A = this chain, B = another copy of it.
Amino acid sequence: MRSTTDLTFTEQARRRQILDGAMRVIAELGYAQTSIARIADEVGIAKSVVLYHFKAKNDIIEAVVATVFGTAVERMAPAVADCATPTEQLAAYIRSNIAFIADNRVPAIAMLEIVTGYRSPDGLRADQAVPLQESADLQGWSVLDPESIFAEGTRTKAFRPLSPVFMKNALRAALDGAVWEYARDPQYDITGYGEELVTIFELATRSQR
């Protein structure tokens, strides 16, 4: 099997072009309304060309997920890694995630559309379907799982006693919510929202004296 790096330059370019088109279409119409024909239209190529490069609709979706995930991790991982304390890490996590969204509106929306709308032929959600799972893991998402930040903060008593899982869930939901608002309204002050989140989680995790 050929890895992504074996691809010729033109092949790479075409794939990139198709993925970009796919993200634009998904962000605009939603996952369900996105068809291969619509993507081909957006890119300005024939439908068969899309399938020549991706073999199945699923492959496009996986590639989009992998790409966006990768970009996000690239952006967030160093930001978090640079911080010494859980408190700082948490703020960095939030700010870098928000910054990523602000700078990558379309990919972020596409990603969320997929995560909430995708179902495998047998009805499984994106996070239960195996292939998409793998894309995520390969990109080292686990490194970034905020649950570990909460766990560490609790352990070191930098944070008040709290449930790392619940906290993670609340935080992820609040961050994903930013994307919905941003999708709805391109003028949404996403940075302002991000700062409010920083405050909320700072106050909500601070160990009480």
Q: Which residues of A contact B (CB under 8 A)?
A: 28-33, 116-117, 119, 123, 125, 127-128, 162-163, 166-167, 169-170, 172-174, 176-178, 180-181, 183-184, 192-193, 196-197, 199-201, 203-204, 206
Number of copies: 4
A46 CB, nearest partner CB in chain B, Å: 12
Main SS at interface, chain A: helix
Give the distance to chain B from A29, nearest Cβ to Cβ, in Å. Answer: 4
Known: A123-B28, A127-B184, A184-B128. A163 touches B196 (CB 8 A): yes
With A162-B196, A163-B192, A174-B174: A123-B169 Cβ-Cβ less than 8 Å? no
A200-B204, A203-B204 known; A32-B117 Cβ under 8 A: yes
Taken together as a complex, chains A and B put the C-alpha atoms of A166 and B195 apart, in Å, by: 10
Establish whether residues B162 and A170, one from each chain, have CB atoms under 8 Å apart when the complex forms.
Answer: no
A1 to chain B, nearest CB (A): 12
Given contacts A170-B174, A173-B176, A196-B166, contact A32 B29 (CB under 8 A): no
Contact at A117–B30, with CB atoms within 8 Å?
yes
Residues of B within 8 A of A172 (CB): 177
